[in-house]
Structure 1
């Protein structure tokens, strides 16, 4: 195994563009890559591009009739009428949609292949993480589910146990659905409670189909959860389950929309905490999978202040060159931000937060605390299936 990290990047992924005014502005991808370059992280890992996912690859997760519908909507977006979730307010059809979505999917599949074959120890595709797409339909800004496709490709290549950890503010419903009946895949999602946020799924009682009990894990966090609670929940659930499952590969999704500035959700997490979770996932990979780690992006709609910083930290961690939180943002990047958006970019790679949290095992729990109730609900639902005490 080479030990080198790999960053999947093709400028054409910015063609995944639902048009003016849509929250998923592809400028967030371009600005992230420019920030990666401004810190010269592209010299610390291999930057490469994979081919778009072909029909047979897409069929690992998606139905043939749905793929055909995407192709049709891509060719004639004006005719998309909401069928298969295409042509809606969330997923407007646009010319070239199939090609752009398949290209993003191809980068995540390529990342998985590189890690499994030993061509890279870690691989990042921050354009990916489109975790809401279902086998037979688009949803939540997502056309093809590149995260599920990456996991499915790992299984096709011979992986017997894969853990997927999703820390996006929204439930990773499409990935959970894809592997609901598959005991080879453990999906863990930390997200805002479904009572208050799309897609209104991800209850702790969702634990997998008969024969795959305990293979789906859902930590439904109360709205308003901040750094200390988010980190407490992550460390109270994820490390023990990863250790018990003994995966051969770790796939993680790092949606930046948990941030307190994100306009579409209600958590209060900082870039500093997001960086710590990236570091924790990196450590879990080295501890349990021989370092095999595929890291994806996801949601995130504060496209200047948050997303580029969060995912640049992710790339830096994967590259083995973590950035000190207080690092000044390069001035040439801030000039690029203003040129593209007429906004002022952030000055530093930190939100200035001091990160402390109470460890669940060391400090016990408060049965009257809503966060601890969420943690306990998840542990009680799935820990016994893995031989763990809740």
Structure 2
């Protein structure tokens, strides 16, 4: 078995809406260079992505929508049509060559898939992916093409795989869920901040799938201000029980890191403790239930300086069995501190007193545990009836 692969090239940095948009591809470069300076990303583990073909993108997206994205990237899509495709909105504005930039992100995730199924690398990481809000004919929430959905359909058709999708982004993985809502060969699990407070407003525990896919959609909406002490135990229980129940051939995980306390767009209170533990939980599930096959993609994360590089580095470290702790590489800190007004963290860990104690902690934990119980109820009922 070869070592895990890291999918990266500068083409992935072209997915950029504007200099002021919160979805900033610089976070990919920051992570790449942090891993390099930490000495845990050797060249032989780096694989360049390929650009996805129109036919591959059409596994999920309509031809009409793909053409609209192409026209928008050339500045020739009429404004009257753009909004019907979710394009040129505040969240997902158009930018030059947006089809090409998006196709590279999709191709990066497909490159990760091919390395796992065809080149004996049991695990692969493509941080440019994770655009989980994209729909068949519409962009949404910073996401133009839904690379994870395309990759899942690709794995189904090419490798006849049963796929478990795990989404730990603070936002509900709606685009992936709805794409496979009635599919018996795809199981989706999303743990996220409750839609009462956060886009896209979906991901209720009652969303369980439909038709032949009923019972294979799992959602655990977390209360605002959820901390590590509630977040981690829920993931440990849910991921193990769901993987044991579904018996996947492969796991693909979306690793948005916007549940961190410092993230400016969400209301959760996770720390680096969670982002060190989440990949441990997913990796264990892959080894025990999916022949070790694990494809990981990126996702949300809008504190690009203090959170994203460290959290995604911890993900790569876990794939390689490396324990990162102590100070960050001095070379990385020196290079990037002058680029931001924020004070960069000096270590892989967050400080113990990152924020003041939350008065509602007990109530929040109880609400989250109730959601866990409701989400897994049908699994447990089936187990008791056997």
**Common fold: TM-score over 0.5:** yes
- Mapped to 1, the partners of 2:112 and 2:339 lie a distance apart of 29
How much does 1:342 deviate? 4.7
> Aligned residues, how many?
375
- 1:164-189 deviation digits (Å, cap 9, x = unpaired): 10000000001101111111011000
- Partner of 1:54 in structure 2? 53
Q: Which range is displaced more, 343-352 or 212-221?
A: 343-352
- Mapped to 2, the partners of 1:236 and 1:170 lie a distance apart of 20
How much does 1:369 deviate? 2.1
- 1:336-383 deviation digits (Å, cap 9, x = unpaired): 2224335432100011459xxxxxxxxxx9999212222122122x42
Q: Note if 1:371 corresponds to 2:353.
A: no
- Mapped to 1, the partners of 2:138 and 2:42 lie a distance apart of 39
- Partner of 2:34 in structure 1? 35
- Partner of 1:269 in structure 2? 270
- Partner of 1:205 in structure 2? 206
Structure 1's unaligned 5+ residue stretches are 355-364
Q: Is the 8 A contact 1:243 1:288 kept in 2?
A: yes
- 1:274-320 deviation digits (Å, cap 9, x = unpaired): 11011111111111112111011100001100000000111111123
- Partner of 1:8 in structure 2? 7
SS at match of 1:341: coil
SS at match of 1:72: helix
- 1:7-41 deviation digits (Å, cap 9, x = unpaired): 00011211111102111112111111111111122
How much does 1:200 deviate? 0.5
- Partner of 1:383 in structure 2? 379
- Mapped to 1, the partners of 2:14 and 2:49 lie a distance apart of 16
How much does 1:388 deviate? 6.3
- Partner of 2:359 in structure 1? none
Q: Is the 8 A contact 2:71 2:77 kept in 1?
A: no
- Mapped to 2, the partners of 1:136 and 1:102 lie a distance apart of 16
- 1:68-97 deviation digits (Å, cap 9, x = unpaired): 111010111785442300000000000011
How much does 1:386 deviate? 5.9
- Partner of 2:129 in structure 1? 128
Q: What is the correspondence of 1:156-195 to structure 2 with a 5 Å cutoff?
A: 156-195=157-196
Q: Is the 8 A contact 1:108 1:128 kept in 2?
A: yes
Q: Note if 1:293 corresponds to 2:294.
A: yes
Q: Is the 8 A contact 1:7 1:45 kept in 2?
A: no
- Partner of 1:280 in structure 2? 281
Q: Is the 8 A contact 2:193 2:223 kept in 1?
A: yes
SS at match of 1:197: coil
**RMSD between superposed Cα atoms in Å:** 2.1
- Partner of 2:331 in structure 1? 332
**C-alpha distance 74-387 of structure 1, shift in aligned 2 (>3 A):** farther
**C-alpha distance 169-366 of structure 1, shift in aligned 2 (>3 A):** closer
Q: What is the correspondence of 1:46-125 to structure 2 with a 5 Å cutoff?
A: 46-76=45-75, 79-80=78-79, 81-125=82-126
SS at match of 2:31: helix
Q: Which range is displaced more, 279-288 or 214-223?
A: 279-288
Q: Is the 8 A contact 2:248 2:290 kept in 1?
A: yes
Q: Is the 8 A contact 1:270 1:353 kept in 2?
A: no
**C-alpha distance 98-229 of structure 1, shift in aligned 2 (>3 A):** same
- Partner of 1:218 in structure 2? 219
**C-alpha distance 388-72 of structure 1, shift in aligned 2 (>3 A):** farther
- 1:195-238 deviation digits (Å, cap 9, x = unpaired): 11100000011111111111110001111110011012112211
Q: Note if 1:308 corresponds to 2:309.
A: yes
Q: Which range is displaced more, 258-267 or 155-164?
A: 155-164
- Mapped to 1, the partners of 2:73 and 2:124 lie a distance apart of 29
- Partner of 2:344 in structure 1? 345
- Mapped to 2, the partners of 1:281 and 1:369 lie a distance apart of 24
Structure 2's unaligned 5+ residue stretches are 354-361
Q: Is the 8 A contact 2:134 2:140 kept in 1?
A: yes
- Partner of 1:359 in structure 2? none
* TM-score between both structures, scaled by the size of structure 2: 0.92
